[in-house]
Amino acid sequence: MELRSIKRMTFALLVCCAGLGATTGAGVGAEPIRIGAVLPFSGGVELYGQQAKLGLDLAVKDINAAGGILGRPVEVIYADDKTRPESAAAAMHALIENDGVVAVVGPITSRNLNAVAPVAESLKTPLLYATNFEGGKCSRYLFSFGTVPNQELGQLLPYMNQTFGKSYFLLGADRVWPHQMFDIARPLIEKLGGKVVGTQFTLGTETDFTPLIAQVAAAKAKVLLFALKGDGMDFIRQADDHGLLKDTTVAFLGLSEVDLGIFRGKGQDMFTVVPSVATSDEPSVKAFVAKVRADAGADVVVSNYVMTHYNTLVALKAAIEKAGKVDKEAIIDAMAGLVIPSPTGPVTIGRDHYATMNMFIAKTRGSDLVTVRALGEITPQPGCKLADR
């Protein structure tokens, strides 16, 4: 049996049996290990904050049922960053200085990451970031459990180029992440022999996308590289109604199952690259999705945000147990180089604090994402180097 299958079975056993903790629960009366979570529960991207919370809540339940960490229960203290950098930074300070958390998970947006990362540095507290982003941040106190451009763009663009054509229109919101992702995409497209025939950024105030749809159509791009989350998602429905998607295929950056309800059945056969697909036939993924829905409801959406945030606490538990103590600097030293089980196979936390994980090309079908191609383990290229301590 190959190693990947063994590790997936190990994870399946872990999630299957963690709930049997009536006799193995965390020590009664023991002081909890407190972990902070700075996430958006208002302000525009709260869908993703709720997905992250699903993963964290399940991880807490599983860890505590299996005996906690070093015999102590785990507690997550949530703070709403309101999708605003200043709120995120204030929440980070409060969690560390007032609540005494040993680590912080979050946030979601790049702007808020830029706001909280310096706080993690100044207060010497591990920050576990589990959202796909543009990379370029290397810090002793930052760990990335999401994907970076070579794991996402670097896999998606060659597939689109070969399958659908070599002309691209880049459409994104006028925010940090789309700008930086497109800056990375342009030389990749050129290297593939492709051509960017247009670029546009939206302001977030648009409701009628007809002029923009006409602009994309006039450019005759075969691929629409799309980085327009949140307030721009209506573009997809309107573009479908105007017939744009008959001749232009969407390569959607950051697409996940939590987005699909917004499209109301529109936007079929859009392509993305993700670290997990909820409709997977892998037993370990099916078990994980079933556990989430057993707690949160049979109809709850389960996206890769759930899994990546679950993984943060699995890694934190492993690091504390490896260190043998609840100490921030010891946790950081222990976490670098860890290999942890996940629903899709092993996740390796590199010495640069970025995660090697299995990746998948997926596409929209009905109200789901379905796997098009399993890519195997993709090693991240962070775009920076971690300075020696």
The reported pLDDT for the residue numbered 103 is 98
Which pLDDT band, with edges at 50, 70 and 90, does 28 fall under? low
Q: What is the pLDDT of residue 16?
A: 43
Predicted local confidence at residue 22, as pLDDT: 36
pLDDT for 389 equals 55
pLDDT at 388 over 80: no
User: pLDDT band at 3, cuts 50/70/90?
Assistant: very low
Q: Where are the beta strands (DSSP E) in the chain?
A: 33-39, 74-80, 104-105, 127-129, 142-144, 167-173, 195-202, 223-227, 249-252, 271-274, 339-340, 347-349, 355-365, 368-378
Contact 74, 33 (CB under 8 A): yes
Backbone angles phi, psi at 195, to 5 degrees: -145, 135
pLDDT at residue 171 is higher than 80: yes
CA distance 349 to 196: 35
Q: Which fold has domain 150-274?
A: Rossmann fold (3.40.50)
CA distances from 130 to 37, 307, 310, 315 (A): 11, 9, 9, 12
38 and 92 in contact (C-beta within 8 Å)? yes
Confidence of residue 204 (pLDDT cuts 50, 70, 90): confident
**Percent of the chain residues topping a pLDDT of 90:** 87
Asked whether the whole model's pTM tops 0.75, one would answer yes
77/56 Cα distance (integer angstroms): 10
- pLDDT band per the 50, 70, 90 thresholds, residue 29: confident
Mean pLDDT of 159-166: 98
- pLDDT for 1 equals 39
Residue-wise pLDDT for 238-267, tens only, equals 999 999 999 999 999 999 999 999 898 999
Residue 225 CA, chain-centre distance (Å), reads 19
Q: Which amino acid is at 34?
A: R
| pLDDT of 5 higher than 60 | no
Residue 205's pLDDT band (cuts 50, 70, 90): confident
Q: How far apart are CA 273 and CA 271, in angstroms?
A: 7
More confident residue, 232 or 182: 182
Q: Higher-confidence residue: 258 or 20? A: 258
Query: Is domain 3-147+278-358 given the CATH code 2.40.50.460 in the classification?
Result: no
Residue 331 has pLDDT above 70, yes or no: yes
The values of phi and psi at residue 337, to 5°, are 95, -5
Q: Where are the domains of the chain?
A: 3-147+278-358, 150-274
Report the range of poorest mean pLDDT among 144-153, 226-235, 275-284, 369-378.
226-235
What is the torsion angle, in degrees rounded to the nearest 10, for the CA atoms of residue 37, residue 39, residue 41 and residue 42?
A: 140
The answer to whether the bond into 107 is cis (omega within 30° of 0) is: yes
Please check whether residue 258 is in contact with residue 303, taking contact to mean a CB–CB distance below 8 angstroms: yes
Residue 319: what residue type?
Answer: A
3-147+278-358 matches 150-274 in fold: yes
Average pLDDT, integer, range 170-199: 96
Q: What pLDDT is attached to residue 338? A: 98
Mean pLDDT score of the chain, rounded to an integer?
92
Integer CA distances (angstroms), 7 to 3, 151, 341, 387, in order:
6, 21, 6, 32
What letter does residue 343 receive in the DSSP assignment? Answer: T
Residue 282 clears pLDDT 70, i.e. is over it: yes
Q: Does the pLDDT at position 372 exceed 60?
A: yes
| Separation CA 144–CA 311 (nearest Å) | 11
pLDDT number for residue 231: 64
Is the pLDDT confidence value at 233 over 90? no
- Longest CA pairwise span in the chain (Å): 67
Distance of CA 351 to the CA centre of its chain: 20
- Check residue 387 and give its pLDDT: 78
